[in-house]
């Protein structure tokens, strides 16, 4: 059973075909990277998978269940977690509070209007574990706005992990990072390999080729190749369309 399947997904914005019959799979434990130039449709695809963008055509399956009509929150409850290209953190809150918010958003109990998250031992344990996993174990009480950019990206991954996902969607987790910060996130994602299937959108080729089991190349909304990193690197159509002489 695949963790994720898309069947001929389409999204149009007016005359723009942002995703053009995209079909791909993410297998259990796999890191599947999506690369492609700016405007190729990568973020649109992630939005369609998360349920934030309604698809015009095609299907999305999670663990063999067709979730095409399933709303964002219900996809999250089925184990889908995502991070954003642009950070979505509550900057005036602490790292711990951001993670607790993510846990509560996932678990939102209808019978409770409000609860003090700090008194919820289960939520606290999930948050603490996730912060330790990403290397922020000593930063529970840091205010997000005072944290380095790389630490904020680590925090976003912690928020995804704290929901105990079955599938991770990562939209450019290395965006805007220094080399040292990138290396830390690449090492973190390596350490998570096999624990979560991941669909990873990323510009940084070195990182993609180091992390990915398979790479799909998206150009003008279309997947022009899906292959191993070496296969993609040596694919003439990919080189012509996207990678040019730079690989």
- Residues near Mg ion (CB under 5 A) are 42-43, 85
Residues in region 162-201 near ligand ADP by CB under 6 A? none
Taking alpha carbons only, the member of 80, 134, 127 closest to residue 103 is: 127
Query: Which of 6, 31, 32, 44 touches ligand ADP by CB under 6 A?
Result: 44
As measured in angstroms, the least distance from the Cβ of 85 to ligand ADP is: 7
Based on the shown chain and the rule CB under 6 A, indicate whether residue 40 belongs to the binding site for ligand ADP: yes
As measured in angstroms, the least distance from the Cβ of 6 to Mg ion is: 17
**Structure tokens given for 155:** 């925090």
Based on the shown chain and the rule CB under 6 A, indicate whether residue 231 belongs to the binding site for ligand ADP: no
Placement of tokens 């090492």 in the chain: 187
CA atoms within 13 A on the CB side of 12: 5
Helix locations, the chain, DSSP H: 42-50, 72-77, 95-107, 121-133, 149-162, 179-192, 205-211, 229-233, 236-238
Q: Among ligand ADP, Mg ion, none, what binds residue 38 when CB lies within 5 to 8 Å by partner kind?
A: ligand ADP
Residues 207 and 38: beta-carbon distance below 8 Å: no
Q: Among ligand ADP, Mg ion, none, what binds residue 40 when CB lies within 5 to 8 Å by partner kind?
A: ligand ADP
Based on the shown chain and the rule CB under 6 A, indicate whether residue 48 belongs to the binding site for ligand ADP: no
Query: Which of 9, 18, 177, 219 touches ligand ADP by CB under 6 A?
Result: 18
What are the two backbone dihedrals, phi and then psi, of residue 151, each rounded to the nearest 5 degrees? Answer: -65, -35
Taking alpha carbons only, the member of 154, 190, 160 closest to residue 173 is: 154
| CA pair distance 136, 114, nearest whole angstrom | 27
C-beta nearest to Mg ion: residue: 43
As measured in angstroms, the least distance from the Cβ of 34 to ligand ADP is: 8
- 238-241: long-range contacts, CB 8 A cutoff, minimum separation 24: 241/217
Query: Which of 8, 16, 29, 178 touches ligand ADP by CB under 6 A?
Result: 16
Shorter beta-carbon distance to Mg ion: residue 43 or 216: 43
Residue 243 in 3-state DSSP? helix
Based on the shown chain and the rule CB under 6 A, indicate whether residue 122 belongs to the binding site for ligand ADP: no
Q: Which stretch binds ligand ADP (CB under 6 A): 38-46, 94-102, 104-112, 180-188?
A: 38-46
Based on the shown chain and the rule CB under 6 A, indicate whether residue 41 belongs to the binding site for ligand ADP: yes
Residue numbers of the site for ligand ADP (CB under 6 A)? 13, 16, 18, 36, 38-44
């Amino acid at each position: 059973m695949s963790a994720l399947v898309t069947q001929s997904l389409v999204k149009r914005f007016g005359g723009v075909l942002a995703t053009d019959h995209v079909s791909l799979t993410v297998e259990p434990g796999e890191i599947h990277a999506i690369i492609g130039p700016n405007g190729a449709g990568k973020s649109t695809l992630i939005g369609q998978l998360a349920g934030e963008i309604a698809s015009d055509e095609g299907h999305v399956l999670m663990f063999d269940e067709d979730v095409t009509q399933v709303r964002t929150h219900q996809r999250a409850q089925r184990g889908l977690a995502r991070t954003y290209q642009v950070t979505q953190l509550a900057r005036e809150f602490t790292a711990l509070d951001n993670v607790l918010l993510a846990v509560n958003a996932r678990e939102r109990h209808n019978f409770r209007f409000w609860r003090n998250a700090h008194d919820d031992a289960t939520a606290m344990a999930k948050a603490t574990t996730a912060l330790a996993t990403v290397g922020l174990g000593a930063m529970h009480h840091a205010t997000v706005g005072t944290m380095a950019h790389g630490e904020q990206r680590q925090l976003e991954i912690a928020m995804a992990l704290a929901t105990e996902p079955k599938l991770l969607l990562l939209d450019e987790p290395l965006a805007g990072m220094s080399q040292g910060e990138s290396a830390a996130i690449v090492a973190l994602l390596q350490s998570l390999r096999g624990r979560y299937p991941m669909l990873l959108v990323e510009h940084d080729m070195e990182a993609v080729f180091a992390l990915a089991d398979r790479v799909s190349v998206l150009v003008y909304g279309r997947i022009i190749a899906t292959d191993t990193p070496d296969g993609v690197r040596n694919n003439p159509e990919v080189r012509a369309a996207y990678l040019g002489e730079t690989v």
